[in-house]
């Protein structure tokens, strides 16, 4: 997917990119590839692949779950890495208030410089493990939306993310293909953590064989105080 095709695909979903937004994505690509030469941000560096597998992939929730992306919503992106999906979402919806959580300082340094270059406001960077941030009163049950892409399986991911979602808010998981078994295994954890699965949508990225699954979970009750457990525990002893 080259930049022109990217623009055309977005137009099909009623997103008409401005010249400023086109320039922001172009700058994002340039900085991602340059920084990746000395900081491990991504294995994907071909321009058409970046536009498809990073940029377009990151914004698919806007087409699928558009109603939950309300004007001025607060969004926390857990384990954002090089800024996916939150930065592409922010470029398209500039009034989103973004908080990015990542445990690696080098990635956050890249994002800080990128955010300044792109002229984005209301983006907070938090250096820490999701388990610790989820117990921090500043962030716990604070967000309208929490996103995560390619971070962990759904059981572990739910313990990272649902404690950050406010009651009535949503957790949006961007996953690969064929996650039925993973979803089934995570049903107990989602329930324990106060969530309820609302939707599961399978899609294929345009002009490719790249399959994806988007999962929408609503926070219907508060998360018990013991969750998330201390750093490392969700992976070692997942909720069953």
Q: Is 43 exposed, middle or buried (0-12, 13-18, 19+ CB in 10 A)?
A: exposed
Distance from the Cα of residue 240 to its chain's centroid: 25
Confirm or deny that 130 is annotated as ligand binding: yes
Count CB neighbours of 37 within 10 A: 8
If you ran DSSP here, which 8-state letter would residue 16 be given? Answer: -
Distance, in Å, from the CA atom of 170 to the CA atom of 217, rounded to the nearest integer, reads 6
SS3 content of the chain, % helix, strand, coil (to 5): 40, 20, 35
Give, rounded to a whole angstrom, the gap between the first and last alpha carbons of the chain: 41
**CA dist., res. 97 & res. 84, Å (int):** 15
- Residue 9 near residue 59, CB atoms below 8 Å: no
84 is in an annotated binding site: yes
149 among annotated binding-site residues = yes
Q: What residues does 74 pair with on adjacent strands?
A: 97
Cα gap 140→225, rounded to integer Å? 10
Sort strands 165-175 and 143-149 into parallel, antiparallel or unpaired.
parallel
Vertex 76, ends 43 and 96: CA angle to 5°?
100
Q: Which residues carry a binding-site annotation for S-adenosyl-L-methionine?
A: 79, 84, 130-131, 149
């Amino acid at each position: 997917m080259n930049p022109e095709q990217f623009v055309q695909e977005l137009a099909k979903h009623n997103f008409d990119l401005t010249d400023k937004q086109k320039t922001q994505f172009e700058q994002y690509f340039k900085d991602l590839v340059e920084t990746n030469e000395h900081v491990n941000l991504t294995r994907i560096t071909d321009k058409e692949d970046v536009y498809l597998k990073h940029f377009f992939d990151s914004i698919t929730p806007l087409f699928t779950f558009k109603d939950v992306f309300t004007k001025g919503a607060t969004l926390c992106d857990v384990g954002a890495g090089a800024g996916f999906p939150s930065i592409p979402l922010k470029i398209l919806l500039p009034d989103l208030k973004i908080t990015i959580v990542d445990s690696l300082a080098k990635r956050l340094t890249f994002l800080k410089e990128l955010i300044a270059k792109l002229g984005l406001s209301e983006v907070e960077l938090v250096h820490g493990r999701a388990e610790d941030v989820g117990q921090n009163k500043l962030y716990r049950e604070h967000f309208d939306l929490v996103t995560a892409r390619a971070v962990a399986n759904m059981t572990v991911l739910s313990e990272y993310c649902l404690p950050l979602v406010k009651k009535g808010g949503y957790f949006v998981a961007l996953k690969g293909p064929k996650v039925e078994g993973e979803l089934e295994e995570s049903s107990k954890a989602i329930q324990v953590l106060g969530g309820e699965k609302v939707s599961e949508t399978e899609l294929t990225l345009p002009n490719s064989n790249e399959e994806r699954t988007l999962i929408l979970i609503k926070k219907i009750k508060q998360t018990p105080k013991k969750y998330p457990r201390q750093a490392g525990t969700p992976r070692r002893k997942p909720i069953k």
